[in-house]
Amino acid sequence: MNGNEVSVMFDMRAPAFGAPITKLYDAMLEMSAFADEIGVSRIGVMEHHGSEDGYLPAPFVLAGGVAARTKRARISITAVILPLHDPVKVAEQIAVLDIMSGGRLEVVLAAGYVPSEFQMFNVSLKHRGRLMDEGTDIIMRALRGERFAAGGREIFIRPLPLQQPEDIVILGGGVEASARRAARAGAGFSPLRADLFAVYDAECAKLGKPPGRKYSSGLPLSIHITEDPDRAWAQVGPHAVHVCKAYADWAAQEDVSNSPFAGLDNEAIIRASGLFVCWTPDEVVANAPAVLANFGGLNFMPLLGGLAPELGWESLELLKAKVMPRLTPLLAGS
């Protein structure tokens, strides 16, 4: 892992029972600026397409807004579904956004798994591995400044990012092939399974390349801070159930049997799973050493599943007043 971090993440889901989408987008930019001011390490946005609840389909656009409102936090896109995009356009957006952010960008590239998304973009799921290999190679070479031919076209992008591509690009994945792909590309790695770090490290050593940035999928996926967890669960619970059901439905499209969201269809089961939690400030501080030791980061989603912004603000204000000051020794030791 690359140090102890506090991350605030946004997927921009806006189900009909949640807050209006305009309020969510307004709040997201305000929350990003606030998170940056209180010392949050990373502000992240996500990507999916064709979702009934409006899941963010244009992460580079929203990340540009975050770049304009922040000064210190790294900006993370987690993840770009690369097979759905022209890699040259992705490279150009990476370069411009890295410049806009003053060299604070990181982008996870993933192969995707939702059949309906691939159908909408007229891309075959069967080709995603090849498209990941080809697209990653094009992006890394283009961001290094090369002029080269690939796929029957000449590729040359300008401007170039402030950071080296190895410090920006991270590959996601849940199989050994994804670990080896990341090592070959000289990119960082963010696996669905922590045991794949060993495969990645071994492949990097075999190729004589230093490992890049490494992030695991931390648990809890989101912490909601509250002085009254039972009251907070009554407010957050329906949104957590919506998120879990939506991810499980996507996984079921491809018959993904190991989805962590499968069967999480009510509040009691979700609470027992530990994927989403409502903790008091004292509980956050008490649990932080173990969470940081195991996963390297504490994650917060203040607009989880279209949660009312005022509830998200309550959590963030407690993060500022009663958690961040007490986490300083842990975070400073990263």
pLDDT in tens, 155-175: 999 999 999 999 999 999 988
Distance from C-alpha of 55 to C-alpha of 306, rounded to nearest angstrom:
10
Mean pLDDT of the region 112-130: 96
Confidence at residue 182, expressed as pLDDT on a 0 to 100 scale: 95
Distance from C-alpha of 294 to C-alpha of 272, rounded to nearest angstrom:
19
Confidence at residue 309, expressed as pLDDT on a 0 to 100 scale: 98
Mean pLDDT of the region 285-309: 94
Mean pLDDT of the region 118-135: 97
Confidence at residue 4, expressed as pLDDT on a 0 to 100 scale: 83
Confidence at residue 194, expressed as pLDDT on a 0 to 100 scale: 83
Confidence at residue 1, expressed as pLDDT on a 0 to 100 scale: 45
Average pLDDT over the chain, rounded to whole? 94
When pLDDT is cut at 50, 70 and 90, the band that residue 140 belongs to is very high
Confidence at residue 255, expressed as pLDDT on a 0 to 100 scale: 66
List where CATH 3.20.20.30 sits in the chain. 5-207
In a 10 Å sphere around its CB, with 0-12 CB exposed, 13-18 middle and 19+ buried, how is residue 242 labelled?
buried
Confidence at residue 296, expressed as pLDDT on a 0 to 100 scale: 84
Per CATH, the homologous superfamily of domain 5-207 is: Luciferase-like domain (3.20.20.30)
pTM, 2 dp: 0.95
CA dihedral sign, ordered 333, 214, 54, 17? negative
Retrieve residue 43's tokens.
């502000």
Mean pLDDT of the region 77-82: 97
Retrieve residue 148's tokens.
């080269």
Instruction: Say if residue 75's pLDDT is above 50.
Output: yes
In a 10 Å sphere around its CB, with 0-12 CB exposed, 13-18 middle and 19+ buried, how is residue 304 labelled?
buried
Q: Partners of 74 in the beta sheet?
A: 42
Confidence at residue 218, expressed as pLDDT on a 0 to 100 scale: 76
Instruction: Say if residue 67's pLDDT is above 50.
Output: yes
In a 10 Å sphere around its CB, with 0-12 CB exposed, 13-18 middle and 19+ buried, how is residue 21 labelled?
middle
Q: Which of 17-31, 51-65, 105-119, 184-198 has the lowest mean pLDDT?
A: 184-198
Instruction: Say if residue 253's pLDDT is above 90.
Output: no
Mean pLDDT of the region 39-59: 98
Q: Residue 154's Cα: distance from chain center in Å?
A: 31
| Type of residue numbered 321 | A
- Three-state SS string over 170-185 comes to EEEECCHHHHHHHHHH
When pLDDT is cut at 50, 70 and 90, the band that residue 230 belongs to is very high
Confidence at residue 332, expressed as pLDDT on a 0 to 100 scale: 73
DSSP single-letter state for residue 208: T
Instruction: Say if residue 259's pLDDT is above 90.
Output: no
112 by DSSP, 3-state: which? coil
Q: Partners of 80 in the beta sheet?
A: 109
